[in-house]
Amino acid sequence: MNPEQLSLYLVTDPVLCGSRGVTETCRLALESGVGTLQLRDKNASTRKLIQMAVILQNLCRRHGALFIVNDRIDVAMVCGADGVHLGQDDMPVHLARKFLGPDAVIGASARSPLEAEAAWKEGADYIAANLIFPTDTKTDLGEPLGLSAIAELKNASPLPLVAIGGINPSNADIVRKAGADGIAVVSAIMAAEDVPKVVRALLR
């Protein structure tokens, strides 16, 4: 994994993108410079997830981006994804590594230094600080961590750290200055009227 691919990380949402759809939104985002794309859809059937995963994997390969599947190791294996992203309630990182092999990219969400350190020691490739600011797309995680948590989590492991939660062009700069190696967004891009414009703003 090239850590620079984590600089701008897009997580999909089939509702926020509206009639434009996930595929078209992701195509525009990848063409504009998104380096990592994560397929996340908690409500889709396994069949629909696999169908979408194959489409998005092909888009990512075309644009040299990483393709990650949220939670579903089986879907990642079937479509040949670059890896998976795991939350604290998902399969442990060390078990996922056994299934996916040494070359897979495995990300792990963390909300405390202990969780970040554990993910690193189990074999994760990057940590996601979840969540930094309030957001409607993450309603089950309690209070936002705030900017101070970025340095705390980053100091707990040598892995690249991606910040997620309420990040948009107006606050992306302070998130990076707080120590994040990359920013992950959902609504800022998925719900954007002009996807390329927002991606360019985030990259700046």
Determine the Cα–Cα distance for residues 104 and 94; give it in Å rounded to an integer: 12
Quickly count: other Cβ atoms within 10 Å of residue 74's Cβ.
14
Helix, coil or strand: residue 64: coil
List 27, 40, 72, 154, catalytic entry: 40
- Catalytic residue flag (residue 187): no
Determine the Cα–Cα distance for residues 15 and 20; give it in Å rounded to an integer: 10
List 7, 32, 109, 187, catalytic entry: 109
195 with 159: CB under 8 angstroms?
no
CA 107 from chain centre, in angstroms, equals 8
- Catalytic residue flag (residue 111): no
CA 121 from chain centre, in angstroms, equals 20
List 27, 138, 154, 157, catalytic entry: 138
Quickly count: other Cβ atoms within 10 Å of residue 108's Cβ.
28
- Catalytic residue flag (residue 138): yes
Catalytic residues: 40, 109, 138
